[in-house]
């Protein structure tokens, strides 16, 4: 996507209420032991004079497909969760003069969670400057939830929220990366859009979902405990398929096809799930666990 490079026109457009969509290429590695293995996704920051919304652009593509087919009288039939291809599951909404809110779905329930991001980001603004895509950008650093970030922002675009939950700088961040370069956001395009609805939560309030999800509001501390609890439930709640009578008479096998006991089956499943969590230990959402001392992988009551 070709960047808009006439800074004065961009500034005037935002100042007088013209809605913009800023596209960011997000490169990331969720496994701290394999940082070279990266995935990427295109994210969107929708901005108006009243605030911003940050989310996966893949959501727009899925919704557009649904709306197009729906207009023709043949809406697409999603098999399972319609947004299963979305890699970035968070949505961050920042309204003018309000505390930014993070929206997230995870765990065994179909609830989605609203978390007020009350933590102030203490930026260190440095004198370093450079030019990125014809924008004059300046360097800043901060440590947020245990992760060290370096960002480059421009005062030419008067937006102080986004990408992700970054906020509080005197201009829009165009580049952000953590100290190991395991997560990075980089502006890749700018477009005009018709509308920015700050009261609609992309994906979570979509009519594409087959069930009515319930919003649960949490403090940051409660959200940390929820993430820890979800990990523990994922590891420990291994229930063989079928009703009680079927399970008792069932046979269980290991990965080599050898018959094993139910106890060994549960043990193997737990170990496999621990490995899954370990391969995803560098996900950004895990940063919210900082400060929680409970071990999510500690075994609870045996199933």
Cα 282 to Cα 35, 221, 227, 229, 294, distances in angstroms: 9, 20, 14, 17, 18
63 and 123 share one domain: yes
Task: List alpha helices for the chain, DSSP H.
Answer: 7-15, 57-71, 220-236, 244-249, 262-279
Cα separation, 291 vs 146, in Å, equals 9
Rounded to the nearest 10°, the torsion over CA 187, 183, 94, 103 is 130
The answer to whether the beta carbons of residues 248 and 183 sit under 8 Å apart is no
Q: Which residue has the higher pLDDT, 221 or 83?
A: 221
Which pLDDT value is given to residue 263?
87
Indicate whether 298 belongs to any domain. Answer: no
Domain end position, chosen among 192, 208, 236: 192
Residue 15 C-beta-side C-alpha neighbours within 13 Å = 9
126 and 275 share one domain: no
pLDDT 10s digits, 153-184: 999 999 999 999 999 999 999 999 999 999 99
Look up residue 13 and give its DSSP letter. Answer: H
42 and 160 share one domain: yes
User: What is the average pLDDT across 138-142?
Assistant: 99
pLDDT 10s digits, 73-85: 665 555 556 787 8
C-alpha R_g of the chain? 22
Indicate whether 1 belongs to any domain. Answer: no
284 and 161 share one domain: no
154 and 55 share one domain: yes
64 and 172 share one domain: yes
Structure tokens at 113: 């969670």
Number of structural domains (the chain) is 2
pLDDT 10s digits, 8-46: 445 545 544 589 999 999 999 999 999 999 999 999 999
Omega within 30 of 0 (cis) for the link into 163 = yes
pLDDT at 123 over 80: yes
Which pLDDT value is given to residue 73?
61
Indicate whether 64 belongs to any domain. Answer: yes
The answer to whether the beta carbons of residues 250 and 242 sit under 8 Å apart is yes
Cα 186 to Cα 129, 160, 163, distances in angstroms: 16, 16, 9
Indicate whether 199 belongs to any domain. Answer: no
Share of residues in the chain with pLDDT > 90 (%) = 58
81 and 151 share one domain: yes
Chain mean pLDDT for the chain: 84
Structure tokens at 14: 């935002």
The answer to whether the beta carbons of residues 87 and 189 sit under 8 Å apart is no
Q: Which residue has the higher pLDDT, 186 or 110?
A: 186
Pairing of strands 51-56, 39-48: antiparallel
Which pLDDT value is given to residue 291?
55
Say if pTM beats, i.e. exceeds, 0.75. Answer: yes
Residue 123 C-beta-side C-alpha neighbours within 13 Å = 19
47 and 140 share one domain: yes
- Other beta carbons less than 10 A from residue 147's beta carbon: 17
178 and 260 share one domain: no
- Other beta carbons less than 10 A from residue 154's beta carbon: 25
User: What is the average pLDDT across 261-283?
Assistant: 90
Indicate whether 301 belongs to any domain. Answer: no
60 and 104 share one domain: yes
CATH number at residue 109: 2.50.20
Look up residue 286 and give its DSSP letter. Answer: G
Q: Which residue has the higher pLDDT, 94 or 33?
A: 94
The answer to whether the beta carbons of residues 9 and 159 sit under 8 Å apart is no
Cα separation, 22 vs 91, in Å, equals 15
**22: which residues sit within 8 A by CB, 6+ positions away?**
44, 45, 47, 162, 163, 172, 187, 189, 190
254 and 173 share one domain: no
Q: List, edge to edge, every strand of the sheet that includes 39-48.
A: 124-132, 135-144, 147-154, 172-178, 183-192, 20-28, 39-48, 51-56, 91-95, 101-104, 112-116, 215-218
Indicate whether 117 belongs to any domain. Answer: yes
| Angle, in degrees to the nearest 10, between helices 220-236 and 262-279 | 140
Look up residue 18 and give its DSSP letter. Answer: -
User: What is the average pLDDT across 61-82?
Assistant: 66
Indicate whether 35 belongs to any domain. Answer: yes
* Domain coverage including residue 261: 220-289
178 and 32 share one domain: yes
Indicate whether 233 belongs to any domain. Answer: yes
């Amino acid at each position: 996507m070709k960047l808009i490079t006439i800074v004065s026109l961009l500034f005037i457009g935002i100042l007088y209420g013209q809605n913009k969509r800023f596209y960011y290429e997000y490169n990331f590695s969720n496994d701290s032991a394999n940082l070279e293995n990266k995935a990427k996704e295109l994210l969107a920051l929708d901005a108006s004079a009243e605030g911003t919304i940050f989310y996966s652009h893949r959501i727009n593509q899925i919704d557009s497909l649904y709306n197009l087919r729906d207009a023709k009288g043949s809406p697409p039939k999603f098999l399972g969760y319609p947004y299963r291809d979305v890699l970035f599951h968070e949505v961050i909404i920042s309204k003018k003069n309000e505390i930014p809110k993070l929206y997230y779905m995870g765990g065994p329930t179909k609830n989605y969670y609203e978390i007020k991001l009350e933590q102030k980001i203490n930026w260190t603004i440095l004198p370093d400057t450079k030019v990125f895509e014809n924008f004059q950008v300046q360097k800043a650093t901060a440590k947020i939830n245990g992760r060290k970030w370096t960002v480059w922002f421009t005062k030419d675009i008067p937006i102080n929220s986004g990408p992700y939950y970054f906020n509080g700088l005197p201009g829009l961040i165009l580049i952000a990366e953590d100290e190991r370069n395991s997560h990075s956001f980089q502006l890749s395009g700018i477009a005009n859009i018709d509308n920015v609805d700050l009261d609609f939560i992309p994906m979570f309030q979509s009519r594409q979902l087959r069930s009515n999800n319930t919003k649960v509001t949490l403090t940051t501390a409660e959200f940390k405990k929820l993430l820890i609890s979800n990990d523990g439930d994922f590891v420990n709640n291994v229930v063989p398929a079928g009703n009680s009578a079927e399970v008792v008479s069932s046979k269980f096998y290991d990965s080599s096809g050898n018959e094993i006991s139910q106890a060994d089956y549960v043990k193997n499943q737990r170990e496999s799930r621990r490995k899954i969590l370990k391969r995803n230990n560098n996900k950004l959402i895990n940063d919210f666990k900082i400060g929680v001392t409970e071990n999510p992988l500690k075994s609870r009551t045996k199933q």
